[in-house]
Structure 1
């Protein structure tokens, strides 16, 4: 098994204060007051008001940090490593995932899943936490997630704009070397579709829906110039002269209503400039991409060519991702599913 590599940058910190009962000199009774504190896991609590404000992916990151507090020797894998490394999450994962290469078999207890593996993993240490490396974590997730979600994870690992520091060739090489054949078909498809030009999770998921619905693969980040402006677009099809944007509404939000209005107006003006330079223009959000049909309808309207039969089996699992808690699956309709540090 490869040794542990120390990396200088810190893991993504817990998004909420975590308090261990064993660290309190007094007041442990207050920690157990459900009106004041939420029990993240046995012996670890968070202020309830702050906890309830967290989106599902941040709740999961806090759960991972809570586990690390009481199990400092843990080696995190899959979604747990992704949370610490800043790779995309889709809702709130069901389990804390641990890497145990010398275990005789995988096992599950409570909300913890311990994974035995026939393949080695590169282990890195950041901020006192140990986890599988970004490249190994990405490939592991691309094997088990719905294909467009896996593509988003792989793109994030290689996209400089999204904080990626891995080469696509490294992910493809790791995928080829996996001894475990589980998910190998999906892994081949997703690694073949990787593109470091992707700038958001929503954009990557949308591209996966486009490709596996049988439509022509779009160009990414094409620039359109007009007097005084250079506008880059998410998706562009030369043959159809069509532009599509994957909308994430957080980019419009600002500290004041006036600033938010300014951003919305600026985006409307940008759209007007783009509409003057193409034959067809469309946009959709993450919820539409997950539903698939709205995107397919829009692609037909835009005149994008269908070049292959749809691979429906790669797309339908997005609607009820079994690796996420049900309440989280209903809330993952935002462009950026994991905040960037």
Structure 2
């Protein structure tokens, strides 16, 4: 399934389109997006972090329309989730090029024969599957899992296909790291928050939940919960802050609807319902305390190294996605 071609979330301007670029910047009317590309200050300030990342991608394409995007930049074009702060626009070049990073552009050198290149809305990118493999090999496991879950959920690939592709890569670098991530990939996860929540709970030593389970006796009398621990009859709900910021109606009404839904879950067999958000993952001990409070018990030691690095990753910048 090819996604709708992504466009820049805001109008972008070349320096030549500004009558007095230096004066406009000094007055605060425009802000630089990348060298030589600008945006109106009000437009830029209205963007979420992931939208700014996407705007930077389009700013680079204004300057170099034949660039081949990879890693998080390709993920943004595919509409796959990114986790944490995206430090640069990532571009793939051949082995004969020079790997470098300057002015917000990170050029990666790698043999194109290892990756399938596709065109999405006129933009050259590594395939969705290859993008997932690249992220799983070189990024934090939680970031790789979020992208892999979304790719499988959208039908771009399967877990077995991603694993096979990882093993077929000529370079062994990162292969073992990617195996850990791809072994856990599951298209049942419906958001990046669910994906990251799942591995955070695992790193705290909690048992693996069932994903997207229906709790109720019929389609008209029940609800689907993000995570379900059947042994203890605990439901887990990964709630993003967006649900309560007014975009989907009166926050009070939204919260009331959530409380009514929790009552239905308990009526149909849930002993407890736990809720958490991105903030509870940025401070991973918060999720641990939430799960302990509803009666879950770790059955293995915590992986403090991954938990610590996850907290740093999430605090570096809010996670987001164009469509997943």
Q: Verify same fold: TM over 0.5.
A: yes
Match of 1:152 in 2: 146
Could you list the per-position Cα deviations for residues 200-251 of structure 1 after superposition, in whole angstroms to 9, with x for gaps in the alignment? 1111100011123222110011111168432000111111211111111213
Q: Counterpart in 1 of 2:290?
A: 298
1:56–1:91 Cα contact (<8 Å) kept: no
Q: Secondary structure at the residue paired with 1:197? A: coil
Check the 8 A contact 2:116/2:126 in 1, yes or no: yes
Normalising by structure 1, we get a TM-score of 0.85
Matched-pair contact (CA < 8 Å) for 2:282–2:312: no
Compared with structure 1, are the counterparts of its residues 308 and 175 closer, same or farther at alpha carbon in structure 2 (3 Å cutoff)? farther
User: Do the aligned residues in 2 keep the contact of 1:57 with 1:91 (CA within 8 Å)?
Assistant: no
Which of 126, 144, 161 is residue 132 of structure 1 equivalent to?
Answer: 126
Give the equivalent residue in structure 2 for 1:4. Answer: none
1:44 counterpart residue number: 37
Q: 1:125 to 1:256 in 2, by over 3 A?
A: closer
Instruction: Determine whether 1:317 maps to 2:309.
Output: yes
Deviates more, 1:274-283 or 1:194-203: 274-283
More moved, 260-269 vs 236-245: 260-269
Q: How far is 1:113 from its partner?
A: 1.2
Q: Give 3-state SS (helix, strand or coil) of 1:72's partner.
A: coil
Residue 266 (structure 1) aligned with residue 257 (structure 2): yes
Q: Which residue of 2 aligns with 1:219?
A: 210
Correspondence 1:168 to 2:192: no
1:110–1:26 CA distance, 2 compared to 1 (3 A)? closer
Q: What is the match of residue 340 of structure 1?
A: 323
Render the CA deviation track for 1:244-275: whole Å, top value 9, x for unaligned.
11111213444586x44332211110011113
1:286–1:32: structure 2 CA closer, same or farther, 3 Å change rule? closer
CA–CA distance in structure 2, aligned partners of residues 303 and 256 of structure 1? 32
Q: CA RMSD in A?
A: 2.5
1:3 maps to none
Check if 1:16 corresponds to 2:10. yes
Higher mean displacement: 98-107 or 217-226: 98-107
Secondary structure of the residue that 1:88 maps to in structure 2?
coil
Unaligned runs of 5+ in 1: 1-6, 322-327
For 1:261 and 1:235, how far apart are their aligned partners in 2?
24
Residues of 1 paired with 2:248 and 2:64: CA distance? 42
| Closer/same/farther in 2, CA of residues 186 and 313 from structure 1, 3 Å limit | farther
Tell me the SS of whatever aligns to 1:222. Answer: strand
- Could you say what secondary structure the match of 1:244 adopts? strand
Alignment deviations for residues 22-58 of structure 1 (CA, whole Å, 9 cap, x no partner): 4x39565665454111111222111101101211111
CA distance in 2, matches of 1:51, 1:250: 19
| Cα distance change, pair 254–41 in 1 and its aligned pair in 2 (3 A) | same
Aligned mates of 1:25, 1:110 — CA distance in 2: 21
- Residues 255 and 191 of structure 1, relative CA distance in 2, 3 Å threshold: closer
1:104 Cα offset (Å): 5.1
Whole-angstrom distance in 2 between the partners of 1:149 and 1:256 = 27
Residue pair 2:85, 2:317 contacting (<8 A) in 1 also: no
Query: Residues 156, 178 of structure 1: CA spacing in aligned structure 2 closer, same or farther, 3 A cutoff?
Result: same
Q: Retained in 2: the 8 A contact 1:240–1:302? A: no
Matches within 5 A, 1:46-85: 46-85=39-78
1:256, 1:240 → 2: CA distance? 32
Equivalent pair of 1:219/1:235 in contact (CA under 8 Å):
yes
Q: Distance in 2 between matches of 1:55 and 1:29?
A: 26
Q: Is the 8 A contact 1:148 1:315 kept in 2?
A: no
Residues of 2 paired with 1:89 and 1:311: CA distance? 23
Structure 2 residue 174 is matched with structure 1 residue 183: yes
